[in-house]
Amino acid sequence: MTIVACSLMLIGILIYVFYPERHVESQTQKTRLEYLRERKEVLYDNLRDLNFEYRAGKYVEEDYAAQQGILETEAAEVVAEIDLLEAQPR
C-alpha cells in the first residue's frame, strides 16, 4: 500500500513537471517605456493625493502651490519622454 501511494505520487508529479507544454510565458525585461508609464501613474496619484488633502483643508495655499508645481513639472517631463519613445519606430 505504501509503495503504491509513493509510486502514484512520484509518477503524478513527474508527469506534471515534465509534461511538454506548448505555450510557455516569455520572460521579457521591462522596457523604459513601461517603467515611465508606471512612474506617470505614481505621479498622477501623488497629484490626486495633494489635491485631495488641499481640498480637505490640510495645507495652506503656498505649500499646495509649491508642491503642485514640483509634481506637475516632474509629470510633464515623464509624459514628454513617453511621447518621445512612443513616437519612435519599433
Partner 1 sequence: MPTFGSFSLLLALALSGYTLLAGAVALRQLATGARARVTPEKLAETARRAGIGSFVATTAAAFALVWAAFNNDFSVAYILHHSNRALPGPYKFAALWSGQEGSLLLWAWLLAAYGFVLRLRHKVDVKLTAYASTILAGIQVFFLLLLNFAAMPFSLVGGTVPQDGFGLNPLLQYPEMVIHPPMLYLGYVGFAVPFAFALGALMMRYPGEKWIHITRRWTMVTWLFLTCGIFLGAHWAYSVLGWGGYWGWDPVENASLMPWLTGTAFLHSVMMQEKRGMMKTWNVWLIFSTFMLAIFGTLLTRSGLVSSVHAFAQSSIGSWFWAFLIIVLSVCLFTFILQRDHLKADNKLESLVSRESSFLFNNLVLLAACFTVLWGTLFPVLSEYVQGNRVTVGAPFYNRVAVPIGLFLLFLTGIGPLLAWRSSSFKSIRKNFVLPCIAGLVAAVVVIVCGVHPWEIFTTDGQGSFYAFFAFVLAAMVVTAISAEFLRGAGVISRHTGQGLLASMVQLTRRNTRRYGGYIVHFGVVVIFIGIAGSAFNQSKEQELGFKESLNIGPYRLECQSYSQDSNANYDTEFALLDVYRGGKKITQLAPEKRFYIASQQPSTMVANHSTLAWDLYVIYAGKNPDTGQPIIKVFLNPLVAWIWIGVAIIVFGTGVALFPNMTAALAASRNRVQSAAVADALPARGGD
Shortest reach from residue 67's CB to partner 1, in Å: 6
Distance of CA 18 to the CA centre of its chain: 32
Amino acid at 62: E
Shortest reach from residue 86's CB to partner 1, in Å: 14
Chain residues that interact with partner 1, rule: CB under 8 A: 2, 5-6, 9-10, 13, 16-18, 21, 24-30, 32, 34-35, 38-39, 42-53, 55-60, 62-63, 67-68, 70-72, 74-76, 78-79
By C-beta, is 24 or 89 nearer to partner 1? 24
The Cα 68–Cα 32 span in angstroms is: 25
Shortest reach from residue 87's CB to partner 1, in Å: 16
The Cα 60–Cα 76 span in angstroms is: 24
Nearest CA-CA partner of 31 in 86, 87, 75: 86
The Cα 20–Cα 2 span in angstroms is: 29
By C-beta, is 1 or 88 nearer to partner 1? 1
